[in-house]
Structure 1
Amino acid sequence: MHSTTVPPVSEKTLTALQKADTLLKVIITLVTGLWAALTYPLTPSSVKQSFAKEINRRVTKKLSSICDILQLQYILPSGTKAYHDWMATEAAKRGIPKEPVTEFLEDGGKLHWIGRTDAKKLILHFHCKLN
C-alpha cells in the first residue's frame, strides 16, 4: 500500500502570481477600510460600534472572505509573534506576568502560556498556524 503525505500549510509558499493576487486583495481590503471610514457616520446607530471596532470588523470580514488560508498566513503575523506582542502590551493591563513562557513539545508544537504555568485550571487553544 502506497501512502502520500501532504506538507503542512506552513511549509507551502506562494508563487509570484499568488503573491501578486494577495497584494491586489490587500489593496481591495484597504479600499474597503477607507470606504468604511467614510460611511461610518451613516451607519445606523442601532448597529454602530466604536469607530475603530467598526473599521476593524469590516476590514477583517473583507480580508477573510476574499483570501484563502495560505494568503492569510502570508499576510498576518505568526501565532508566536502575535503571542509575544500581546504579552508585551496587554499582560500588564490584566495583572498577568509580562514575561512570555513558551514550551516546545516533542512533535514540534509550541505551548504559549498566558498566566501562571502552575494554575489548577487552564484553557487549551489549538491554533492552526505552526509558527
Structure 2
Amino acid sequence: MEEEKKLIERAKRGDSQAFAVLFKENYSFLVKYLIKVTMNPDLATVFYLLFARKYFRKLVDKMRDKLKYILLAVIILGQLLGIGLLFVNVKLAIIFYIIYVIALVLLIWLFIKERLDEKKEDEENDYRDY
C-alpha cells in the first residue's frame, strides 16, 4: 500500500516508469470495474485506454514544460556568458554562442511542435459541422 502511494506520487511528478507500473498493476481491476459499469468489455477497455492516453499526454506536457524552462535558462546564460567572455576568451565566447543558438533553435522547434499538436487536437475535436 505504501509503495503504491509512492508510485502515485512519482507518477504525479511526471515519472513515466511509475505510471507504467501503475498501469500494468491496475489494468485488470479497473477494466473489470468498467465492465460492471458499462456492461460492455470492449467499451470498458476503450475507456481505460483513453484515460491512460490522456494521463500520459499530461505527463508528456509536464516534461515539455520542464524542457522549455531548461532551454530558456540555457539561452539566457549562454548569451550572458558569451557577452562576458568576449572580453576574456573569444574561443570560449563563440562556444557559448553556439550553445545559445542550438538551445534557441530547440526551443523554437518545441514551440512549433506544440502548436501543431494543438491544431491537430482542435481539428479532431471540431464539432462545428455536426
Regarding TM over 0.5, the answer is: no
By relative contact order (CA 8 Å, sep 6+), the higher-ranking structure is 1
Structure (1 or 2) with the greater strand fraction: 1
Structure with the higher helix share, 1 or 2: 2
Question: Which protein is bigger by CA-based radius of gyration?
Answer: 2
Q: TM-score, normalised by structure 2?
A: 0.32
